[in-house]
A and B are shown apart, each in its own frame.
Chain A
Amino acid sequence: MATSEPTPPQGATDPERPPVSAFFSIPDALTPSLTPAIVHLKRDFNQAVPLSVDATLQTRFGTFPHSSFISLPPGSQVRASPSYPDPRDQRKRKRNSDDQPAATGFVHVLAPTAELWTSSLPHRTQVVYTPDSSYILHRLGVKPGSQVIEAGAGSGSFTHAAARAAYCGYPDGRDGLGWNGEKKGKVWSFEFHAERAKKLREEIANHGLNGIVRITHKDVCAEGFLVFEEEGETISPAANAVFLDLPAPWLAIPHLTRTEQSALDPEAEVRICTFSPCIEQVTRTCATLRQYGWVDVQTVELSHQRLEVRRQVPRGYDDGAGPRSIAEALTRLKGVNDFREQRKDLQVALSAGEEANFQGLGFKKGNGRKMWGNGEEGRLTSRQEPDLKSHTSFLTFAILPREWTEEQEKEAADKGEDKGVVGEKERRWKGQEVESNRARKKRERAEKKLAEEGEDKKGNGQAESSEDAVKMEIDG
């Protein structure tokens, strides 16, 4: 194995070698850092907080000095600091006690992930949300070592997800990960809005993603995808996956060709995804893609909903609501009828001066008190979240095969002649006549013995041929 994997220098405070980003490796303990920890206040309400020693976090669930987070393992539940009572908050909570969650005064503090960052993101542009970005990355086949072009970095949500997928160690080797000499995965991010690019560059540095993500301030539609170096030279990202989140992707596609100064990996097929909300953009993009030699053009749309799961405990008359069933309704209606009759009888009797038997209501009247259960009663139901993202964008995928010239074809044809027995590998593959190492050794020993005894020379020959077969398997 060429993999060298020494123990991770986690939490190392060597200034030369900054620690691995918490986005890539959950740290053992929270430390003061510019990389934010994510404070989970309640469902769908996260806050990215860069921890520092003397700061305090004010929330509606109480006050949390950062020192109460530091040195805890990520994922810890943290109590509000008792030294900062917030009387206003208390009063407010008492007033509307109905929607009061049971666990006030807690937060959870989590290690950042691309998803949590997206959900707590300072929105600058339309965000590529997780359901879309996850499918895009899977479909583009982004894996450790990939070179990903992202144009239209925007708020950096996709940038983080792509960096996570392409990551296979830092170029400076600070994490001791990755194969030696292997090209490290990288996200080449382009943003034509100067302010956004600057902000994003800061964030990337703060999140410890320098070396994995490279932000370039550039209009790719006009200038293409080559990245400028210091001395006026340009370098090619040599990308094998491209994601375009641009208003007019068809203007950028002509820059993604197999020309001399190409931004694409010359030795691999390139996959592209464009992200456009309008169908007109899609048709135009598809036309341009086809025009420039991309094949397998496909457009899909994802629809994503989160479901709320509830126990539906029907509230009856006891709880001041309607009937739970028809039977209950009938009982009550009968009871009311009966009550009315009794009252009439009573009045008649009273006016006649007689004694009457009055029983009152024939059913129990509730006091509106809600029963608390153990969470196992009622029917399990699900419903969509209240605010749906019913359309995000159309995703158009395509593949640009690598260039294949006549000469290359000829050379490949010359090379194609591997010597071997036709069908041998197939048989081994299908599980027929596959011999375990143990069985082979045993057989070889037996054959050797036979050969030594000088009885049969054939056995030896067979052993050799089987050895050949094993070598071939290793080749394959």
Chain B
Amino acid sequence: MPPTGDLILPGTHVLLRLPSGVPKIVRISADTTISLGKFGTFPSNALLHRPYGLTYDILDNNAGLRVVPAAEVTRDILGGGLQPEGANADETHYDLNYGSPSGAASPTAEQAEVMRTNRLTVDTPESQTLTWEEIEELKKTAGGSGKEIIAKLLAGHSAIDQKTPFSLQKYTLRKASKFLRRFSVHRLTVNALTDYLPTQKEPQKFLELRNHHLGLMLSLGNIVYGGRYLIIDETGGLLVAAVAERLGILYPRPHTTSEPEVEAEDADAAAEPKKRRPEPTPPPSRNTITLVHANEQPNLSLLTNFSYDANTPDPSHPLYTHLRTLTWLQLLAPDEDTSLIPPSSSTPEELAALKPGKRSAYYRKLRRWQRISSTVEDTRKGGYDAVLIAAHMPVGGILKAVVPLVKGSGQVVVYEPSLEQATEIADLYSSARKSTWIQRRNETEEKEEDEGKKDWDDEIPDPTLLLAPTVHRLNMRQYQVLPGRTHPVMTSRGGAEGFVVHATRVIPVQGKVDARGAYASQKKKRKLEASEAEKA
């Protein structure tokens, strides 16, 4: 049976995790050599059509890869501690006895042995008898994917018997992360990408979004297959990618694999009718993402990791039809955008008279206009199931523009890196502002029917449109779980804490009667109280 299912196919990006814990994104294509720096090189074909999640040793002399069994991986992580742990897990975990650091089950038998500490350990550079020249030489010659060099280093350490078992394990692990030529292959999911980004790029570029924030946004945003979502994403496409993943439109569809010839035929067949210019199939109306961007072109650079290049998109990628983009100008002032002016219409006779080049140029322009104008029309109609925002610019103005486009009971979710920004949003929808808003609306309605709205502040959204804005703070703490040494990790990444603001779009009661009634009654009551206070 040929291997099928979930395998690394040519052209996909994968995440390699090196022994030092450093992640690395590599695009796997056939017949290339992949270099992992000091950890060595290997042919890409050794990874193609293999499953995800495996760990490999890089064989010496570019000879390829060896699959490392899970048991061996675990043993090396635990520093050989799997056996006592697996054998009598209860004792080692619950009656951790420092008198018996080797994990022996009966502490009484070893009562005589004193707990070994680092009391007598003297740190000197001399304790390693190998010189750096020798180590350099070993790096070149030693085999076993780095295991030999580690063994020699341990053997060459003069004070190794003074180390406590824990510190010996730590020492071994440290050397392993430096010299072991091993890596694991992982699917490049949004989760993996979000973990990877802070190690590479400037964190401000993607607003220091983390996985727990993304997850919370997807849940609070009620992202569900089949919905229509409006997204304002200034993180380079991270938020779009997360939503697309949840909608099942992020990864290229697995072709009917195994026979590349069929694919080629398909591609030809797809290319053929294009020349004949068929009526463009109507874009899908459900399970779509609409991205509003501030520049002429959207910045979706991170989507290249998922084989979607926004500049030269691949028509077979699901995002090609399910992701639509438009600028703020097209959304808010479509009359002023030149790209929305229809190409000068021509009669069929005129068209037929044109040179072929001119004619195809005309059709190209026409199709482009059709595409953009349908996107703009569709977006301005609104009725979105949710809007998700991660933006550098102040969100008040964005909310003013996009909240009316969300349908009743739809979700509004905003990510903000700092608390100050998050509280500002929540404050825009405070109950004091709500009552002020209603009062002002009633007053202007009394004075003039249509005017009045114009002199309202530009950046202040209508506070009555959102229900129960809530600021969420979410932090994650990672734990090291090793037998007898379980604790939170000692260091982790700082930076912007990250906050998620969530509210639900509601439809306020039409007409002023009730709202004004409530307001007036309160005013009356206050007057009453005041007069009572004066009397008293």
Q: State the A residues within 8 Å of B (CB).
A: 1-3, 5, 7-8, 23-26, 40, 43, 73-79, 97, 101-106, 108, 110-111, 113-115, 130-131, 133-139, 141, 143-145, 161, 164-165, 167-169, 175, 177-179, 185, 265-269, 279-280, 282-284, 286-288, 290-291, 293-307, 309, 311, 367-369, 372-376, 380-382, 394, 396, 399-402, 404, 408-409, 411-413, 415-420, 422-423, 425-426, 429, 434, 436, 471, 473-476
Q: A1 contacts B321, CB within 8 Å?
A: yes
CA distance A296 to B187 in the complex (A): 13
Q: B226 contacts A426, CB within 8 Å?
A: no
CA distance A279 to B487 in the complex (A): 9
Q: B53 contacts A293, CB within 8 Å?
A: no
B216 on interface, CB distance cutoff 8 Å = yes
Q: A416 contacts B219, CB within 8 Å?
A: no
Q: State the B residues within 8 Å of A (CB).
A: 2-7, 10-11, 27, 29-32, 45-46, 48-55, 67, 70-71, 73-74, 78, 82, 85-86, 89, 93-94, 184, 187, 189-191, 211-212, 214-216, 218-220, 222-227, 242, 245-248, 253, 260, 263-264, 267, 281, 284-287, 307, 312, 314, 316, 318, 321, 385, 407-411, 419-420, 422-424, 426-427, 430-436, 467-479, 481, 483, 486, 488, 499, 504-509, 514, 518-519, 522, 525-526, 529-530, 533-534
Q: B216 contacts A131, CB within 8 Å?
A: yes
CA distance A305 to B499 in the complex (A): 10
Across-interface contacts of B215 in A (CB, < 8 A): 134-139
CA distance A76 to B408 in the complex (A): 7
Across-interface contacts of B219 in A (CB, < 8 A): 114-115, 130, 133-134, 137, 161
Across-interface contacts of A1 in B (CB, < 8 A): 281, 284, 318, 321
Would you give the shortest CB distance from B172 to chain A, in whole angstroms? Answer: 17
Q: A412 contacts B48, CB within 8 Å?
A: yes
Q: Who on chain A is nearest to B286 by CB?
A: A5
Q: A77 contacts B74, CB within 8 Å?
A: no
User: A269 contacts which of B51, B469, B504 (Cβ < 8 Å)?
Assistant: B51
Chain B's interface: helix, strand, loop or mixed, by majority?
mixed
CA distance A374 to B287 in the complex (A): 41
CA distance A2 to B284 in the complex (A): 12
Q: B423 contacts A267, CB within 8 Å?
A: no
Q: A302-B212, A412-B7 are in contact. List 4 more A-B contacts (CB 8 A).
A: A134-B216, A141-B189, A144-B248, A471-B267
Across-interface contacts of B223 in A (CB, < 8 A): 164
Q: A77 contacts B507, CB within 8 Å?
A: yes
CA distance A373 to B4 in the complex (A): 67
Given A283-B483, A416-B48, are A75 and B504 neighbors across the interface (CB < 8 Å)? yes
Q: A436 contacts B4, CB within 8 Å?
A: no
CA distance A143 to B79 in the complex (A): 36
Would you give the shortest CB distance from A177 to chain B, in whole angstroms? Answer: 5
20 residue pairs from A and B, CB less than 8 Å apart: A76-B507, A106-B509, A108-B506, A110-B409, A114-B222, A141-B245, A165-B218, A185-B225, A269-B6, A282-B486, A295-B74, A302-B475, A306-B470, A307-B473, A374-B433, A380-B427, A402-B53, A404-B54, A412-B49, A416-B48
Q: B212 contacts A426, CB within 8 Å?
A: no
Would you give the shortest CB distance from A405 to chain B, in whole angstroms? Answer: 9
Given A130-B216, A298-B478, are A167 and B225 neighbors across the interface (CB < 8 Å)? yes
